């Protein structure tokens, strides 16, 4: 099956917004094993929209479009699809009632133009949109499938997951299940090469994705039902774990912050970080996760000589230029002043050579209570080492928590 | 003139990357007054590429494409353009020499496949690419213009600005100059309504863009030369400043961080921030700007009761729940412990009502030396108030620095 994505909205052609719907859907289609050969963006103009839809109709089996479902005159997706398949949109009494209820609940009156959000054509089924006012359309005609969803990503993601995906799976009589194994540092290991032979497998498939917090290995299986798909996944997961198991830190929705918070909370340990090298990114990540509320004491950014001296770091150490020692001092200091059990210190410098910039990062983990007193040096040539330094720190901490 | 954008690369259709080139180019074209009706993404397949280029050729005057200029077999942009205009690509001796030099300088040997990056067709002119190996193509034929640029955004932006834009302006015999006035809080002022009549002006144009750090007002003028364009801009800028002048904090490339650093450095004042509410985002922003190195002492995130008490905040204040007072205490504390002249404290809470979440933010600016001792309360219903809280703080500080 061949699919095509059409993003609708003049704002896309004025450069006002970045289209994140297309990569989201493209990824989902890849997972479903549906080929995507074309994606395009088109403005709010009936003739141009119809033109693009007609071409898509000729060359693709599935047309997935986002945007243009709103109440204004500019929103022309329903009209275009109706024109394409030669049907007339009519107001659906039930959809209209729901819409009126939506407005009433919010203490507002529904204006006339909103009625168009309650229209259907004979070939369309409404796709519920609990996150907004515009329902989507699922249109099946002459062996073609058209799926129309709202443009706002949160509405679209929700509709895709809860309305479209189950229908697609039912239609194709296959279920697709995936499991993502999240690794760190595997890219720099010899082990990575050992799993490449698995990448050629067709069912389940194994795909790798380089992300800021590590390399994700996504296993996806197609089967007649969930149980069978899960069985297929389990077999490959075992193979993958046999080879790169030691690099896996999480699965599916795990984040570094939740994984670390979980380990700390279980051990009733608290953490504070001095991450001047990343300018506080690690503290930001840890304080955004509500799960870390219990164990995260706070963070400190102090790069200047003045502030470091004020914090009690000795001037001689600052002059010495021993980044490992400095990281240790900062870890111990932040642990004390923020009253935490464990302190992390991240220091580093960037060495610029003729051909590249190499980041030298020093990560200290210090704890009187837990007996940690380690400094690791991570030197890498990577454009995002500042952002990644926090993950190196959490990876070091995880190893300590699990092994000591 | 009608333009069309084609993004090339199978990775775009697998959802592996988000296409930020299209919005960048769409914005630039809007600024140039060139209409963009279509944009599309297509994979690395010769027949499909040719198909998309042929359609673009029929309906558009200018085709701008990105990607597919690399050395591998998958990179087919040059071949496609050559096929489209019916010309044969040949290796250009000069380009080849440059390429060999590029590799030699990096201590590498140029492999044979790289030679294709040195090809031209009779209708094409090479566009220099000092940030990478693949030069772009500028192709003029039969009244059509094709511009091919590399996919990596940093290479593309550089080539657009330095190679494409000057040629486009020469070709259209017009110069487009723009000036962006950056405002804060104007969205909540009555003044904003007063500039809406200027938005209908056609030359210069005035466009507004809502950004996290404020509302940008971009004035753009077309004229035969820079001087005339600048004159047109100056007239409108005066009108705009007359109405919303007090909300303007910067122009063009100014960022909040550079503007504040500049004000502080001139006054020889240093700053430290306790921004627990944003989880250290303000400290991160300030420590990323090298211009702030001199004046920024550091930041502190401390949300937990334990860490705040350890820092000397009295338990009774923490229990009281007076966020303004707490912000002031945090400001004074961080100023002292990081040895700065001015301390900023950001505290707040989110009030969730039935219909929405309202963020209540309290920003304290405290300085013994400068005599600041203020707390401002900013309450807003906005999804990004955590990220925006730092800008509120810098806006408050800017007002103090300019008026006291």
Measured between CA atoms, the residue of chain A closest to residue B39 is: A41
Spatial separation of the C-alpha atoms in residues B320 and B275, rounded to whole Å: 20
Q: Which domains does chain B have, with CATH numbers?
A: 2-171 (3.40.980.10), 175-251 (3.30.70.2860), 256-403 (3.90.950.20)
pLDDT in tens, chain A (404 residues): 899 999 999 889 988 788 999 999 998 998 888 889 999 999 999 999 999 999 999 999 999 999 999 888 889 999 999 999 999 999 999 999 988 888 888 777 888 888 999 999 999 999 999 888 889 999 999 999 999 999 999 999 999 999 999 999 888 788 888 999 999 987 766 767 788 788 888 889 888 887 889 889 999 998 988 899 999 999 999 999 999 999 999 999 999 999 999 999 999 999 999 999 999 999 999 988 777 788 999 999 998 899 999 999 999 998 998 999 999 999 999 999 999 999 999 999 888 776 667 889 999 999 999 999 999 998 887 767 888 899 999 999 999 999 87
ipTM over 0.85: no
pLDDT at residue number B355:
63
**Please, which residues bridge with residue B206 across strands?**
B219
Chain A residue numbers with beta carbons less than 8 Å from the beta carbon of B54 are none
Q: Does the beta-carbon distance from B337 to A298 stay under 8 Å? A: no
pLDDT at residue number B200:
82
Tell me which DSSP letter residue B109 carries: P
Q: Which string of b and e fits A103-132 if b means at least 16 CB within 10 Å?
A: eeeeeeebeeebebbbbbbebbebbebeeb
Spatial separation of the C-alpha atoms in residues B97 and A383, rounded to whole Å: 29
pLDDT at residue number B354:
66
pLDDT digits (tens, 9 = 90+) for B311-340: 999 999 989 989 999 999 999 999 999 999
Q: Does the beta-carbon distance from A287 to B304 stay under 8 Å? A: no
- Mean residue pLDDT of chain B comes to 91
pLDDT digits (tens, 9 = 90+) for B143-201: 999 999 999 999 999 999 999 999 998 888 888 889 999 999 877 667 677 887 888 88
Decide: pTM greater than 0.90: no
Spatial separation of the C-alpha atoms in residues A131 and B357, rounded to whole Å: 16
Residue of B65, B71, B66, B72 lying closest to B96 (CA atoms): B71
CA torsion sign, A227 to A229 to A230 to A234? positive
Q: What is the mean pLDDT of residues B332-357?
A: 89
Using the Cβ of B291 and the Cβ atoms of chain A, whether some distance falls under 8 Å is answered with no
- Peptide bond before residue A204 is cis, with ω within 30 degrees of 0: yes
Residue of B6, B118, B128 lying closest to B56 (CA atoms): B6
Residue of B341, B332, B337, B333 lying closest to B268 (CA atoms): B341
Using the Cβ of B293 and the Cβ atoms of chain A, whether some distance falls under 8 Å is answered with yes
Using the Cβ of B6 and the Cβ atoms of chain A, whether some distance falls under 8 Å is answered with no
A335 in Cβ contact with A342 (< 8 Å): yes
pLDDT at residue number A323:
94
Question: Which three-class secondary structure state does DSSP give residue B111?
Answer: coil
Question: Which three-class secondary structure state does DSSP give residue B353?
Answer: coil
Q: Does the beta-carbon distance from B307 to A339 stay under 8 Å? A: yes
pLDDT at residue number A174:
81
Spatial separation of the C-alpha atoms in residues B351 and B355, rounded to whole Å: 11
What percentage of chain B carries pLDDT values higher than 90?
Answer: 66
pLDDT at residue number A111:
82
Spatial separation of the C-alpha atoms in residues B12 and B316, rounded to whole Å: 56
pLDDT at residue number A201:
86
Residues 359-398 in A contacting B (C-alpha not used; CB under 8 Å): none
B17 to chain A, closest Cα gap in Å: 7
pLDDT at residue number B151:
94
pLDDT at residue number A379:
85
pLDDT at residue number A140:
97
Query: What would the two tokens of residue A229 be?
Result: 């798909």
Spatial separation of the C-alpha atoms in residues B195 and B187, rounded to whole Å: 11
pLDDT at residue number A172:
79
Residues 40-99 in B contacting A (C-alpha not used; CB under 8 Å): 40-43, 45, 48, 52, 55
pLDDT at residue number A296:
95
Residue B23 has pLDDT above 70, yes or no: yes
Query: CA B335: distance to chain centroid?
Result: 32
Q: What is the mean pLDDT of residues B275-301?
A: 89
pLDDT at residue number A208:
83
CA torsion sign, B234 to B235 to B240 to B243? positive
Angle formed at CA A19 by CA A14 and CA A20, multiple of 5 degrees: 160
**Please, which residues bridge with residue B2 across strands?**
B35
More confident residue, B246 or A106: B246
Place of tokens 């690419």: B129
Query: What would the two tokens of residue B211 be?
Result: 């950004």
Pairing of strands B35-42, A35-42: antiparallel
pLDDT at residue number A169:
86
Return the residue in A51, A301, A338 with the most chain B beta carbons within 10 A, the one to mutate for interface testing: A301
Spatial separation of the C-alpha atoms in residues A2 and A4, rounded to whole Å: 7
Query: How does residue B83 score in pLDDT terms, banded at 50, 70 and 90?
Result: very high
pLDDT at residue number A355:
64
pLDDT at residue number B111:
82
Using the Cβ of A209 and the Cβ atoms of chain B, whether some distance falls under 8 Å is answered with yes
Return the residue in A307, A309, A341, A384 with the most chain B beta carbons within 10 A, the one to mutate for interface testing: A307
Q: Does the beta-carbon distance from B307 to A298 stay under 8 Å? A: yes
Measured between CA atoms, the residue of chain A closest to residue B298 is: A302
pLDDT at residue number A199:
81
Of B286-290, B330-334, B365-369, give the lowest mean pLDDT range. Answer: B286-290
DSSP H or E segment with residue B137: strand B136-141
pLDDT at residue number A354:
67
More confident residue, B371 or B66: B66
Count Cβ atoms below 10 Å from residue A251 Cβ, excluding itself. 12
Tell me which DSSP letter residue B184 carries: S
Using the Cβ of A156 and the Cβ atoms of chain B, whether some distance falls under 8 Å is answered with no
Residues in chain A: 404
Q: Say what angle helices B281-288 and A281-288 make with each other, to 10 degrees.
A: 160
Residue of B368, B310, B311, B375 lying closest to B340 (CA atoms): B368
B374 in Cβ contact with B396 (< 8 Å): yes
Q: What is the mean pLDDT of residues B205-217?
A: 86
Q: Does the beta-carbon distance from B16 to A25 stay under 8 Å? A: no
Chain A residue numbers with beta carbons less than 8 Å from the beta carbon of B280 are 280-281, 283-284, 287, 299, 301
């Amino acid at each position: 099956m061949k699919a095509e994505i059409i993003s609708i909205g003049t704002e896309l052609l004025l450069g006002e917004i970045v289209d994140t719907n297309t990569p989201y859907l493209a990824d989902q289609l890849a997972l479903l094993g549906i080929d995507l050969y074309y994606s395009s963006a088109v403005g709010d103009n009936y003739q141009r929209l119809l033109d693009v839809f007609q071409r898509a109709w000729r060359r693709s089996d599935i047309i997935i479009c986002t945007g243009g479902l709103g109440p204004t005159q500019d929103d022309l997706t329903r009209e275009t699809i109706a024109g394409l398949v030669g049907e007339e949109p009519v107001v659906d009494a039930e959809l209209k009632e729901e819409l009126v209820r939506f407005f009433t609940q919010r203490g507002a009156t529904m204006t006339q133009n909103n009625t168009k959000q309650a229209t259907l054509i004979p070939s369309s089924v409404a796709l519920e949109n609990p996150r907004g006012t515009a329902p989507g359309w699922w249109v099946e005609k002459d062996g073609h499938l058209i799926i129309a969803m709202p443009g706002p990503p949160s509405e679209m993601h929700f509709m895709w997951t809860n309305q479209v995906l189950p229908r697609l799976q039912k239609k194709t009589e296959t279920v697709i299940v995936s499991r993502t194994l999240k690794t760190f540092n595997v890219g720099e290991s010899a082990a990575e090469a050992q799993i490449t032979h698995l990448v050629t497998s067709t069912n389940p498939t194994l795909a790798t994705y380089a992300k800021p917090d590590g390399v994700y290995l996504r296993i996806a299986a197609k089967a007649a039902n969930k149980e069978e798909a899960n069985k297929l996944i389990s077999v490959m997961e075992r193979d993958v774990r046999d080879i790169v198991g030691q690099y896996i830190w999480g699965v599916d929705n795990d984040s570094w912050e939740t994984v670390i918070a979980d380990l700390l909370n279980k051990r009733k340990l608290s953490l504070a970080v001095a991450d001047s090298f990343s300018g506080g990114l690690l503290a930001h990540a840890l304080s955004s996760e509500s799960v870390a509320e219990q164990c995260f004491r706070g963070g400190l950014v102090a790069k200047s000589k003045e502030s470091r001296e004020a914090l009690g770091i000795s001037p001689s150490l600052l002059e010495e230029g021993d980044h490992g020692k400095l990281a240790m001092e900062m870890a111990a200091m932040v642990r004390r002043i923020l009253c935490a059990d464990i302190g992390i210190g991240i220091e580093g410098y960037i060495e610029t050579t003729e051909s590249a910039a190499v980041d030298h990062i020093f990560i200290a983990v210090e704890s009187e209570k837990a007996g940690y007193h380690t400094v690791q040096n991570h030197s890498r040539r990577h454009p995002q080492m500042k952002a990644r330094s926090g993950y190196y720190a959490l990876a070091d901490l995880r190893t300590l928590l699990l092994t000591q």
